[in-house]
Amino acid sequence: MDGSGTQTDPRVIDAQLDFRTFIDLLRDDGDLVDIEREVDPHLELGAIVRRVSETNNKAPLFHNLKGTTKDGLWRAFGNAASLSGHGPDRFGRVARTFGLPRDATWKQICARTQLAKSASPLPPNILETGPCKENKILGADNIDLHALPAPKLHHEDGGKYIQTYGVHMLQTPDKSWTNWSIFRGMIHDRNHIVAQVNPRQHNYVVKEKWRALGETQVPWVLAFGIPPAATLAAAMPIPEGVSEGEYVGALAGRPLDVVKAELSDILVPANSEIVFEGYMSLEDRAIEGPFGDYLGYSFEDDKRMQPLFRVEAITYRNNPIFPVSVPGRITDESHTTAALAAAEILTFLQARGYPIKDANAPLETMATWCALQVDGPGLRARVATPAAFCTELGELLYSQKCSMLVNRFILVGEDVDIYDFQDLIWAFVTRCRPGRDEYYFDDKPALPLTPYQSHGGGDPTKGGKTLSDCLFHMEYEGGPNFLKTDFETSYPAEVKQKVLDTWTAMGFD
């Protein structure tokens, strides 16, 4: 295979559902570095992964971590869904995650994530055992998280963040819904992790169902190195009540192979690299943080009391691989996974008949902005004033979980390429009149991780949500009466072609 792959290539399809096949495929793509020298998980690993993110470099696989246990725990892998260079295949890792050619566009990737919406959920294939059961450490007294080569990722972190790219699994008491999600977790003591749980997330909904029954703990699994498509699905704003395991089966077109956990009825991917099992306490809490998070800041006072998770079993594959994400400034997994919410937002709006053609959350904004491209004729058919349309849209969107990470929606016309940030920002600065064309939703739930919410004054839990209207009033009425003044628009085809044909000969690069 030449590395470009096609969607019918068996290994490209398999890589969606197998972490090791995914890694091998990246190696064949020339998008992976095997690091054989010893690397210290205390800051050195984090520094390498962080610099890879900031330079859009190859994904690193660390074969020799300092402190690896005699049981083989563990190798490490970073940058599973960050960018690959700056060329046409820069989204290659995310594309491979969803079984696409490595040069797939972001628009194609987003469309791929929504295929499961038109298919029935595909229940998993339950096996008696699987690779994740090759080795077992059972009993809380036999577990010492401090003995593992868990990384300290930023020097300002409050501890060793053992969980940055694994997937938490919680099941409702009636077992009708198993939620998979990604949220950070720090080692608290030898057999406890303290993890950040946000009230607006589905894991919070699940734990409250147990609390309502008078329970004091919730069966819990944390699985590392699961099928890549499942990891990204766990980070996406899938509707409440939908089990990610079934969603991924529908997305990939075949069921996930799963096995029953050791301590509960939770089903985990059979080819997971490492699986922690135990219980989430509904009573015991401890300090979590600070942590250098995905918006690029670490605040000394970012410490909160958060739930404790007791680890009572660890199962793992032979020679396991531990996935790591090191959040910070663009571009890492936090940003690419957050940007996938735009696809969910588009599906949500179109299902309700809104005249929106496309949606994109630019990585340059850390996916805190989402551009909405309007269908002009559809907009004018609604016979709505700008204020009425924008207010209705903002009220609806900022009440949905799929918009949780978005702080600004930007409404643009069909002439704006929402996948070209230069085009988008040009429309924003020339068409949106400050104040008059901006709509604020100060009563809506905020994203507290946003620095201007947590440290900028005002209520950190509400507001900070805006919709910027970059449509001229004429676009609501009779359509646009303007043209762009640029090379593509302002000259006849024969003139442009003559310039292009002689460009290099004239001395230009």
Per-residue confidence in pLDDT tens, the chain, 509 aa = 333 334 568 889 999 999 999 999 999 999 999 999 999 999 999 999 999 999 999 999 999 999 998 888 999 999 999 999 999 999 999 999 999 999 999 999 999 999 888 888 899 999 999 999 999 999 999 999 999 999 999 999 999 999 999 999 999 999 999 999 999 999 999 999 999 998 878 999 999 999 999 999 999 999 999 999 999 999 998 888 888 999 999 999 999 999 999 999 999 999 999 999 999 999 999 999 999 999 999 999 999 999 999 999 999 999 999 999 999 999 999 999 999 999 999 999 999 999 999 999 999 999 999 999 999 999 999 988 999 999 999 999 999 999 999 999 999 999 999 999 999 999 999 999 999 999 999 999 999 889 999 998 889 999 999 999 999 999 999 889 999 999 999 999 999 999 999 999 999 99
Distance CA 474, CA 480 (A): 6
pLDDT at 8: 62
What are the residue boundaries of the structural domains of the chain, listed by start?
A: 10-113, 122-324, 340-477
Annotated binding site for Mn(2+): 179, 202, 244
Length of the chain equals 509
Closest-CA residue to 38 (of 28, 50, 48) = 48
Annotated binding site: 179-184, 201-202, 244, 401
Q: What is the DSSP letter of 239?
A: P
CATH number of 122-324: 2.30.110.10
Neighbours of 364 (CB within 10 A): 14
pLDDT at 240: 87
pLDDT at 118: 82
Annotated binding site for prenylated FMN: 179-184, 201-202, 244, 401
Structure tokens at 256: 């996930």
pLDDT at 1: 35
Distance CA 380, CA 474 (A): 10
pLDDT at 7: 55
The SS3 assignment for 219 reads: strand
Closest-CA residue to 87 (of 197, 207, 3, 182) = 3
Q: Which amino acid makes up residue 495? A: V
The SS3 assignment for 357 reads: strand
CATH number of 340-477: 3.40.1670.10
Structure tokens at 270: 């059979």
CA quadruple 423, 53, 238, 212: dihedral sign: negative
pLDDT at 238: 85
Do 122-324 and 340-477 show the same overall fold? Answer: no
Backbone angles phi, psi at 426, to 5 degrees: -60, -45
